[in-house]
Amino acid sequence: MADFLAKDPSKAELERAQIGLISGEVRGLEKVGGFGGKAVTLAEGALYADDPGFYKKRMAYIADASAKSVAQTARTWLGRNHFQLDVIPFGDFAAASEGVDRSTGVPAVDDTPELDFPAVETASLSNGIELVVANRPTVPLVNIAMMFDAGYAADQGKKLGTASLTLAMLDEGTKKRSALDIAEELEGLGAVLRTGSNLDTSTVSMNALKTELKASIDLMADVVRNPAFDQAELDRLRQQRLAGIRQEENQPISIALRQLPPIMYGKDNAYGIPFTGTGTIDAVMSMTREDLQAFHSAWLRPDNATIFVVGDTTLAEIRPVLEKAFGDWKAPSTAKGTKTLNQVSMPDQSQIIIVDRPGSPQSLILAGHLAPPTGVDNNIAITAMNDILGGQFTARVNMNLREEKGWAYGAYTFMQDARGQRPFFVYAPVQTDRTADSMAELVRELNAITGDKPASDTELEMVVRNNVRSLPGQFETARNVLNAMLSNARFGRPLDYEESLKGRYEALDLGDVESAASEVLHPDKLTWMVIGDRAKIEESIRALDLGEITVKSVGE
């Protein structure tokens, strides 16, 4: 602090701070609500400055600040050598007796606005990389994502966790920039760089100010094309990853997500891996720079990539910039990676795996079986069925175990998106003495919606209304739109898929939902994983006679 007060900030330090503050303000203004959104920004201006548009002045103050003015302000407010607390008693305030007419009640809700999804254009770079662009000029920001057909499933036949660690290493240094160089350059540009994977794809994305777009894309291209995979950085990230895996092996939900998929999919399917994507202790311990370089060569390459752009730009503007950054990128001579997503048959009957966790204060129930891929034509009907069963707070499963029985804080059903067969899961952390009772209730709910208690008109109407009315808010930001475009590409949907969602929901009838339930739900073929105190739960679970029981220890 003394050093900061003694010297003026450098030009570079000042510029990084200015662009960081201004870019943060701009990103916040893309949303209506939330911290930093339009509503809060306007309200703060009205409250503190008697000017709803004060944010413009605030950004101007930041942009006009000099090193000397910042230093002088710091010395004025941070240089005092004493603490002073002034206590000013509240005045004699009273509630206003006039001015508000509450007789008419709360304002009526207007008609739900229609979804306004931007038009999507496509083109290609000279090397064949497909380009998908949507113009969304609400704020001067541009979102770019380069998606590769890789993902955690690309670990098949390799050391588990390779995809995740390779993506994490991309921004830890290139052949001409160190990790610190990249971090400082991002700060100076006011840009945000992200890397990550899901089951099917790996993505490098950039959120950049339009004024700094070319430099931001140049940095992104260097990260994607020229990673150094520095040994020191790899050793550092390896230790972080190992710590993360050990933590996963002690958290009930992570234990289940690590152990269930290999059982459900088997060893011959690319999805038969821990769904956390982090890999195993042995695999990460043995991972080398050469492993990461081989993954990059096989999967992160121009003939396996698509670039998506959403924001304050057009196809005509952005294409030349991307051409300069990526157009001369050539695919290596080595073969492109492959994944096997063969059709997996359902088991003949249910099975139960008890993971013994002595002293556990509750039991974590996660049961699952395979379901149709996310990209199937009747996915909206499947989604509606799941919403009724357990996908929302007011769904049957949660109302039963939480609201009626009080055995769980929350209980849900969900499906993890996947290009191939996806998993359907029932999730319920319950009090230990009600573990078996909860399992029985979950089976009853699954049998009911496929049998004597199918979805009702009221349930379907509520689900349709909720999904339709939430559509405009789902795509409020350019990043929301970008994620939708990435999903459409991942699941083979048309570019304007979102425009059809309202009609698809409103066209649903009870027959569609009943058919989806019959197709998806198979309560007699579940693989159950129950993580809890074996001594307290095993006997009552065996009494249910749901299937063969196997007992394991944590980490086994």
pLDDT at 250 over 80: yes
Distances (CA, A) of 187 to 276, 345, 367: 30, 50, 44
Q: Which residues contact 116 (CB under 8 A, 6 or more apart)?
A: 472
Work out the angle at residue 124's Cα, subtended by the Cα atoms of residues 215 and 485, and round it to the nearest 5 degrees.
80
The predicted pLDDT at position 110 comes to 76
Q: What are phi and psi of 115, to 5 degrees?
A: -70, 130
Answer for the pair 536, 361: CB distance below 8 angstroms, yes or no.
Answer: no
142 forms beta bridges with: 208, 311
State pLDDT tens for residues 104-142: 888 887 777 788 899 999 999 999 999 999 999 999 999
Of 271, 222, 274, the residue nearest 245 (C-alpha)? 274
* Structure token pair of residue 548: 């063969």
Q: Is beta strand 362-371 parallel, antiparallel or unpaired with respect to 192-197? A: unpaired
The whole-number average pLDDT for the span 377-381 is 97
Compute CA 346 distance to the chain's CA centroid, rounded to the nearest angstrom. Answer: 29
Answer for the pair 235, 289: CB distance below 8 angstroms, yes or no.
Answer: no
Architecture of the domain whose range is 351-466+503-553? 2-Layer Sandwich (3.30)
pLDDT at 83 over 80: no
Answer for the pair 419, 341: CB distance below 8 angstroms, yes or no.
Answer: yes
Q: What are phi and psi of 157, to 5 degrees?
A: 80, 0
Answer for the pair 386, 460: CB distance below 8 angstroms, yes or no.
Answer: no
pLDDT band at 498 (very low <50, low <70, confident <90, very high): very high
**What does pTM read for this prediction?**
0.90
* Structure token pair of residue 28: 């916040």
| Domains of the chain, residue spans | 2-75, 120-326, 351-466+503-553
Q: Output 502 or 96, whichever has higher pLDDT.
A: 502
The whole-number average pLDDT for the span 421-447 is 98
Answer for the pair 264, 369: CB distance below 8 angstroms, yes or no.
Answer: yes
Mean residue pLDDT of the chain comes to: 94
Task: Quickly tell me which residue has 């995979």 as its tokens.
Answer: 229
Q: Output 361 or 90, whichever has higher pLDDT.
A: 361
CA distance 249 to 243: 10
The whole-number average pLDDT for the span 516-534 is 97
Of 492, 233, 506, the residue nearest 374 (C-alpha)? 492
Distances (CA, A) of 128 to 206, 269, 434: 21, 30, 58
pLDDT at 82 over 80: no
State pLDDT tens for residues 390-399: 999 999 999 9
CA distance 306 to 325: 14
CATH superfamily assigned to domain 120-326: Metalloenzyme, LuxS/M16 peptidase-like (3.30.830.10)
Q: Is 351-466+503-553 the same fold as 120-326? A: yes
Of 361, 369, 308, the residue nearest 526 (C-alpha)? 369
The predicted pLDDT at position 107 comes to 80
pLDDT at 94 over 90: no
The predicted pLDDT at position 535 comes to 97
Q: What is the DSSP string of 71-89?
A: HHHHHHHH--SS-------
